[in-house]
Amino acid sequence: MPDFRTHLNVCKKQGYPDGACISVNKWMDAPASMYPGCQHRNFRHSKKDCDYLANQALRRTGDFKKAKEMRDICNLHRLVDKKYSKGCGCAPLFEV
């Protein structure tokens, strides 16, 4: 399972700002403190969660570019988790 540093490095390599990378990745993995291992991916790891994050950013800033960036970083996190998933079977990562 990729750790925070891996998610951060992948995010930065895609050209996203440090602050946005940190914010999104921390938000997504916050449930890991209560649900260890891949169980935490059942929370804040769906497409709807990424849309929610983008909508929150849009409401807060009014900036469509920032909202899209947040959603894209969220989806990037999902892709990285999916790549490293070894039989986790987390439904949100594999939804169509």
Compute the half-sphere exposure of residue 9: CA atoms within 13 Å on the CB side of its CA.
Answer: 5
- Give residue 60's domain range: 4-94
**CA gap 30, 28 in Å, rounded:** 6
Q: Which two tokens stand for residue 43?
A: 């929370």
Interval 21-45: pLDDT, tens: 999 999 999 999 999 888 888 899 9
Are 81 and 1 in contact by the 8 Å Cβ rule? The answer is yes
Tally of domains within the chain: 1
Interval 42-91: pLDDT, tens: 899 999 999 999 999 999 999 999 999 999 999 999 999 988 877 666 76
Q: In the predicted model, what is the mean pLDDT of residues 9-32?
A: 97
Q: Which pLDDT value is given to residue 55?
A: 98
Q: Which pTM was predicted? A: 0.91
CA angle 1, 20, 13 (to 5 degrees): 60
